[in-house]
Amino acid sequence: MALDTAPKGWRSVARYSMLTIVALFILFPVYTTVIAALKPGNRVLDNPLLPNAFTLDVLKDAWTQGRLGRYLMNTTVVALIITSVQLVTSIASAYAFSFLKFPLKRLVFGIFLSTMLVPLEVTLVINRRTIDSLGWLNSFQGLTVPFVATAFGTFLLRQVFMQIPPDLREAAQMDGLGHWGFMKEVAIPLVRPTLGALGLFSFLSSWNQYLWPSLITTEDDMNTVQTGLRHLASSDLDKPNLIMAGTIIAAVPILIVLVVFQKQLVRGLTAGAVKG
């Protein structure tokens, strides 16, 4: 029907004006950040709303002297390790819950599910002690190992695996296809879209972690982007342009990831939100 085609005249003018005003409000903090990052230090505070000076030196300084390059590398390593290992452990455990027969299956599944009720903030007091006693403060092990398994991922993939009819597994078995073959030929291709969403979700949440790295990192060499920004903000508060440049450098990689993986993002976010 013609109801949802573009409304004519003043209605769409009104809507466009509203959209523009709202968009400007949302972008305002981004605008002031970009402007500051592109100004030399002595010009930052005169007329903070106008781009009345331009330099790329501050971005360079943030990268080298502000050590954003180092922080980005650390974060990339951490996020990639967590994401890839999480995908493997989630596939493995979801497969076991869906296609293997073993005693106490319900109990073990219950244990997995129960961990989803426990918020991160509750466990970190003890995890910091555990990591300390393992000698993993200021290390990649400390930043990654506590997060390499996830009940959420297991649960999400199991939902998809359960859609495979048991007959199919039996038929495959009769054709001599073992678990490994079945997983490679049938199960994994089926969950590929879900894996994309899950992978993006793991990557973003490990990239954005703030509290945990700030609890177990004391050496600047091991700072992630997030704790690195914190370090930058506390040591260079008199150089707002340097901090803003660091902020931009920290935000750009995620912006690129999100633009590339738009589809997976919406899919992942709405996994729990919309029926069906």
Partner 1 sequence: MAIKTSRLRDIPLAFAMLGPSLLVLLTFVLYPLGKAVWLGQQTCDVQGKNCKSVGWGQYTTVIKSDQFQHALWVTVKFALITVPIGLALGVGLAVLADKQLRGMRFFRTIFSSTIATSVAVASLMWLFLLQPSIGVLANLGWLHDIFPVIKEPGLLKDSGTALWSVGISSIWANLGFTFILVTAGLQSVPKEMHESAYVDGAGGWMRFTNVTLPLISPTLLFTTVVLTSRAFQAYGEMDLLTNGGPIPQDSTTTVTYLIYGSSSIIKNNDGLQAAVAVLLFVILLALSALQFRGFGKRVHYGS
- Residues numbered 4-63 forming contacts with partner 1, rule: CB under 8 A: 4-7, 12, 15-16, 18-19, 22-23, 26-27, 29-30, 32-33, 36, 44-46, 48-49
Residue 112 contacts partner 1 per CB under 8 A: yes
Q: What's the start-to-end Cα distance of the chain, in Å?
A: 25
Site for partner 1 in 223-242 (CB under 8 A): 225-227, 229-230, 233, 237-238, 240
Residues in the chain: 276
Near partner 1 by CB under 8 A: residue from 60, 129, 184, 263 = 129
Q: How far is the CB of 33 from partner 1 (least distance, A)?
A: 5
Query: In terms of CB distance, is 90 or 202 closer to partner 1?
Result: 90
Q: Which amino acid is at 203?
A: F
Which segments within 29-164 are labelled E, that is strand? none
- Shortest approach of partner 1 to residue 72 CB, angstroms? 13
Rule CB under 8 A: choose which of 8, 106, 192, 275 binds partner 1.
275
Report the residue from 52, 64, 65, 130 that binds partner 1 according to the rule CB under 8 A: 130
CB neighbours of residue 160 within 10 Å: 17
Q: What is the DSSP string of 22-46?
A: HHHHHHHHHHHHHHHHTS-GGGTTS
Whether the CB-CB separation of 53 and 40 falls below 8 Å is answered with yes
Q: Which uninterrupted H or E stretch holds 201?
A: helix 188-207
Question: Which of these segments, 59-67, 135-143, 145-153, 195-203, binds partner 1 (CB under 8 A)?
Answer: 145-153
From 8, 125, 167, 175, residue interacting with partner 1 (rule: CB under 8 A):
125
C-alpha of 69 from chain center: 19
